[in-house]
Structure 1
């Protein structure tokens, strides 16, 4: 049994659980190395305190489970099968006739699937496995960090590609297409979220939608993108000015950059997570733009592009060596434009390392 599964299994034993049912693609991947998007079909990993686990997946994926290195039982189900009957039978073979304590991912398990367990085990009590899984995933090992560094390099390349594609009159979607095409040529099949390329006043929308807006002289251009590499995500935001910059644009850029750099300066083991948000918010608020910074300072990053922990002001947990997360302050002025600067960050024993390295100083680009 791999170390991750063993740690999780030991926790089930310590907490006297009958078994755990893990169904999210990210947690199944973390524990089994099998990465799958099953859509509406059932994917699940059943983990026990004192027996070998088994994995449930669509029948068409069984060979890929083996290719991923899974050495235990697999229940492959066809579209006409009732997978819960197959699961019930497999549990019975393991001597489980009455599941009293079952750990699940409470935030994401559908009621319909919980109902399937309750129907077969009427006295079941559900417990939350997510806190333990978050704890395990929080600290990245060297193999994970190597992938995250490479994913960050590719995110840097994506921004560089986008900047080089800027031409007066081009559209947001044309630049976006160029970025993703060049990344696909490097072997990237999937972006970690919908790529954002926003021009001018649209850069003032924190989660704006790229479209047919044409690039004009004096526009701010906001890039927010990331890739999925070997199951791990990157996430970078950079903002540049096209051909010229006015005083207001430069002012908010300098404030956001200051907020980001000062927040990075306190990124070290032992720092309270909420203090990262507080530091950036203090800089932006003192400059008179507090109401235009509407989101948290960042989020954990790894298998999921947004994962535990949430880097909000009320989070009392502290940074630990091996954690990876984003720092991404922003100022967004409606009908004017906005600036966000985001890096992927690793906590080291002495401080921090930024995994994304594309330049952050204000760039005025274009012919």
Structure 2
């Protein structure tokens, strides 16, 4: 970690702390790193033994080691005691400029700002997380296999079930029993599918199924969407063909060194060539969202694949998910997770894009 603008950085207990330390905090915890070599994981006393076992941080302290319990009796307030504990610790290290992430708790940030020059910054771990290790990519592949299995199970459900809500519930239960946690799964049909994140209704001519679970073991996500054609609908099928072409051409451009904007504008170029509107044209129907987002320990993380100049690096993992949405017709979307390589890409969620239910069921 670079310390160009501050002496210490404090990461509180969120997914960035887990990424940095491999310790899954249940209660409040802090990871403190400094330009003097400080590399400290600070946890409640009851969590200290578990932190020693699980984390990759060499120096681990419990709150009690830093006088927290005496401070709590003195201040008669646990939050004031936590703040004072951090302040005294940092003062022993002669801290002057202390950085905290943008989502740092205000009850701690305000007292720290009264004692030090505090800078609010994006957590440096966000940038580190954008490029995945081989192990992380394998974790995402693992969750991707579970997603595709759940999707195929959902297709079989369509033999007998027409309630999108029930299909969604069964998908999430299926994944839970396999060791994955899915919340907010999208199963939508008809005109409701014109709202990208809407779910529910009754299966009509097509159904959009968007599944994005995480592993309960290693905590990494995947994200996968297919639009299933149930009955013949020319407008939906025309939209779907344009989206598939846009996605395939966008993916074909991916390699280290191009920008996120290059990928996004490829999608816009294809869809606009078919006469569909895009967000680039300030449209409120058509392609109305970004092309994709990073996937890892969170379902939305860096990089963002939109109108930005982020340069793609080998090891970045993100979705490519163009869609078209028209209130009087409905919506379609196709989504895959892609990993950037030096000279190209790999599609982690490799699966057929054109799914006509009657042919799938005939072959099943």
What TM-score range do you get, normalising by the shorter chain? 0.7 to 0.9
Offset, 1:58: 5.0
Mapped partners of 2:187, 2:44: distance in 1: 36
Mapped partners of 2:170, 2:317: distance in 1: 29
Q: Using a 3 Å threshold, how does the CA distance of structure 1 residues 118 and 345 change in structure 2: closer, same or farther?
A: same
TM-score after normalising by structure 2: 0.85
- 2:312: which partner in 1? 319
Offset, 1:93: 5.2
Match of 1:222 among 208, 223, 247: 208
Is 1:101 paired with 2:88?
Answer: no
Offset, 1:334: 0.8
Mapped partners of 2:338, 2:345: distance in 1: 7
Tell me which moved more, 49-58 or 248-257: 49-58
For residues 244-279 of structure 1, what are the alpha-carbon distances to aligned partners after superposition, in whole Å with 9 as ceiling and x for unaligned?
222111100100000000000101111111011111
- 1:3: which partner in 2? none
Is 1:197 paired with 2:197?
Answer: no
Maintained 8 Å contact 1:346/1:352: yes
Maintained 8 Å contact 2:208/2:227: yes
Is 1:272 paired with 2:254?
Answer: no
Mapped partners of 1:89, 1:112: distance in 2: 13
Mapped partners of 2:152, 2:10: distance in 1: 43
1:159-198 matches, cutoff 5 A: 159-167=151-159, 170-188=162-180, 190-191=181-182, 193-198=183-188
Maintained 8 Å contact 2:256/2:340: yes
Maintained 8 Å contact 1:253/1:362: no
- 2:223: which partner in 1? 235
Offset, 1:45: 1.5
Offset, 1:358: 2.6
- 1:125: which partner in 2? 118
Tell me which moved more, 66-75 or 77-86: 77-86
For residues 4-53 of structure 1, what are the alpha-carbon distances to aligned partners after superposition, in whole Å with 9 as ceiling and x for unaligned?
xxxx2xx13xx263311112512101110012454xxx332211222443
- 2:280: which partner in 1? none
Q: Which runs of 5+ in 2 are unaligned?
A: 278-282
Offset, 1:345: 0.6
- 1:342: which partner in 2? 335
Mapped partners of 2:52, 2:250: distance in 1: 44
Q: Using a 3 Å threshold, how does the CA distance of structure 1 residues 63 and 333 change in structure 2: closer, same or farther?
A: farther
Say which SS state the counterpart of residue 331 (structure 2) adopts.
strand
Offset, 1:134: 2.8
Number of equivalenced pairs: 341
Deviating above 6 A after TM superposition, structure 1's stretches of 4 or more consecutive aligned residues are: 77-81
Is 1:250 paired with 2:237?
Answer: yes
Mapped partners of 1:176, 1:114: distance in 2: 41
Offset, 1:73: 1.9
Offset, 1:56: 3.7
- 1:18: which partner in 2? 7
Say which SS state the counterpart of residue 275 (structure 2) adopts.
coil
Say which SS state the counterpart of residue 134 (structure 1) adopts.
helix
Maintained 8 Å contact 1:54/1:75: no
- 1:74: which partner in 2? 61
- 2:35: which partner in 1? 49
Maintained 8 Å contact 1:293/1:330: yes
Maintained 8 Å contact 1:256/1:330: yes
